[in-house]
Chain A
Amino acid sequence: MFASIDDVIQRFAAHQYIASRTIATVVYLASHLRKPILVEGPAGVGKTELAKVLAAALGQPLLRLQCYEGLDEAKALYEWEYAKQLLYTQILKEKIGEVVAGARTLNEAVERIAREDDVFFSERFLLPRPLLRAITDDHASVLLIDEIDKADAEFEAFLLEVLSDFQVTVPELGTLRARHHPTVVLTSNNAREMSDALKRRCLHLFIDFPDRQQELDIVTLKVPEVGRALAEQVVSLIQRVRKLDLKKVPSISETLDWTRALMLLNVSALDDAMVAETLSVILKYEGDIRKAQQELREFVELQRAKAASGAVRSDKDVVH
Chain B
Amino acid sequence: MMDAKVVEFCRLLRENGVRVSVAETMDGLRALGAVGLEHPELVRAALRATTVKRANDVPVFDALFDVFFLGLGEAIKAATQATAEALGMDPEELQRLIEALEALAAEQGIELSALAKALLRADSGTLERLLREAAERAGVDEIQHGFQEGRFTHALANALGAGGVADELARLRGLAALDERPDGAQLRDYIDRRLQDLLDMMKGAVRQELDRRDVTRRERQSLQALADKSFFYLTEEEMRRMQEAVTRLAQRLRNVVALRRRRARRGTFDSSATLRRNLQYGGTPFHIVFDRRRKDRPQVVILCDVSDSVRNVSRFMLQFVYSLQDLYSRVRSFIFVADIGEVTALFKEHDVNRALDLAMQGSIINVYSHSDFGRAFRAFHRDYLGAVNKRTTVLILGDARNNYNLPHEWVLRDVQQRAKQVVWLNPENRMTWGFGDSEMDRYAPFCTLVEECRNLNQLYRVIDRLVTA
Interface residues of A (CB under 8 A from B): 5, 21-22, 25-26, 28-29, 32-33, 35, 38, 40-41, 82, 86, 153-154, 190, 192-196, 199-200, 202-206
Residues of A within 8 A of B284 (CB): 86
The answer to whether B42 touches A200, judged by C-beta atoms less than 8 angstroms apart, is: no
**A207, closest chain B residue (CB):** B55
Question: What's the Cα separation between A202 and B24 when bound, in Å?
Answer: 9
Shortest CB-to-CB span from B408 to chain A, Å, is 41
* In the complex, chain B residues 207-264 whose Cβ is within 8 Å of any chain A Cβ: 251, 254-255, 258-259, 262
Q: Which of A153, A190, A205 contacts B49 (CB 8 A)?
A: A205
Q: Which residues does chain B contribute within 8 Å of A33, judged by CB atoms?
A: 27, 30-31, 34
What range describes how many residues of B lie at the interface? Answer: 20 to 34
Report A239 CB to chain B, min CB distance, Å.
Answer: 20
Contact B281 A82 (CB under 8 A): yes
Q: Are A21 and B53 closer than 8 Å at their CB atoms? A: no
- Which B residues are CB-close (under 8 A) to A206? 55, 58
A205 to B55, CA, bound (A): 9
- Knowing that A153-B262, A154-B258 are A-B contacts, what are 12 other residue pairs whose CB atoms are under 8 Å apart, sorted by A's residue number? A21-B45, A26-B45, A29-B50, A33-B34, A82-B281, A153-B258, A194-B53, A200-B21, A202-B53, A203-B49, A204-B50, A204-B54
Q: Is the CB of B255 within 8 A of A35?
A: no
Closest residue of A by beta carbon distance from B262 = A154
**Interface contact B49-A204, CB-CB below 8 Å:** yes
The distance in angstroms between the C-alpha atoms of A120 and B111, with both chains bound, is 86
Given that A25-B35, A29-B31, A82-B286 are contacting pairs, would A196 and B19 also be in contact in the complex, using a CB cutoff of 8 Å?
yes
* B50 CB contact (under 8 Å) in A190, A192, A195, A203: A203
For window 20-40 of B, CB contacts with A under 8 Å fall at: 21, 23-24, 27, 30-31, 34-35
Q: Which residue of A lies closest to B35 (CB)?
A: A25
Q: Tell me if B90 is interfacial: C-beta within 8 Å of chain A.
A: no
Q: In the complex, what distance in Å separates the CA atom of A157 from the CA atom of B49? A: 22
List of B residues within 8 angstroms of A41 by Cβ: 55
Given A21-B41, A193-B251, A204-B52, does the pair A29, B262 have CB atoms closer than 8 Å? no
* CB proximity of A108 to chain B, nearest CB, Å: 21
B55 and A40 form a contact (CB under 8 A): yes
| Contact A153-B255, Cβ < 8 Å, known A33-B30, A33-B34 | yes
Q: How far is the CA of A196 from the CA of B255 in the complex (A)?
A: 10
Alpha-carbon distance between A317 and B394 when the two chains are bound, in angstroms: 69
Q: Determine whether the beta carbon of A26 is less than 8 Å from that of B49.
A: yes
Listed A/B pairs (6) with beta-carbon separation below 8 Å: A28-B35, A29-B50, A33-B34, A82-B281, A192-B254, A196-B19
CB distance from B25 to the nearest CB of A (A): 11
Q: Evaluate contact between A29 and B23: CB separation under 8 angstroms.
A: no
**A194 to chain B: which residues have CB within 8 Å?**
53
CA distance A33 to B49 in the complex (A): 12
Chain B: CB-nearest residue to A27? B49
Closest to B22 in A: A200
* A200 and B30 within 8 A (CB): no
Contact at B255–A25, with CB atoms within 8 Å? no
Query: Smallest Cβ distance from B326 to chain A, in angstroms?
Result: 9
- CB B325 to nearest CB in A, in angstroms, measures 12
- For B21, B45, B55, the residue with the greatest tally of chain A CB atoms inside 10 Å of its CB is B45
Contact, CB under 8 Å: B21 / A25:
no
- A25-B49 contact given A5-B35, A40-B55, CB 8 Å threshold: yes
Flag if B31 contacts A195 (CB, 8 Å).
no
Residues of B within 8 A of A32 (CB): 34
B-side contacts of A26, CB under 8 Å: 45, 49
Q: A25 to B52, Cβ gap below 8 A?
A: no
B66 shortest CB reach to chain A, Å: 16
Please name all residues of chain A whose beta carbon is closer than 8 Å to the beta carbon of B251 when the two chains form the complex: 193
Interface residue B46 (Cβ < 8 Å from any Cβ of A): yes
Q: How far is the CA of A13 from the CA of B137 in the complex (A)?
A: 49
Provide the residues of chain B in CB contact with A205, threshold 8 Å: 49
Which residues of chain B from 255 to 309 have a CB within 8 Å of any chain A CB? 255, 258-259, 262, 281-282, 284, 286
B31 touches A200 (CB 8 A): no
Q: Are A29 and B35 in contact (CB under 8 A)?
A: yes
> Which chain B positions have C-beta within 8 A of A22?
45, 48-49
Closest Cβ–Cβ distance, residue A253 to chain B (whole Å): 20
**B46 partner residues in chain A, CB cutoff 8 A:** 25, 29
Q: Which residue of A lies closest to B265 (CB)?
A: A154
Task: Give the chain A neighbours of B255 by CB distance below 8 A.
Answer: 153, 195
Q: How far is the CB of A288 from chain B (nearest CB, A)?
A: 14
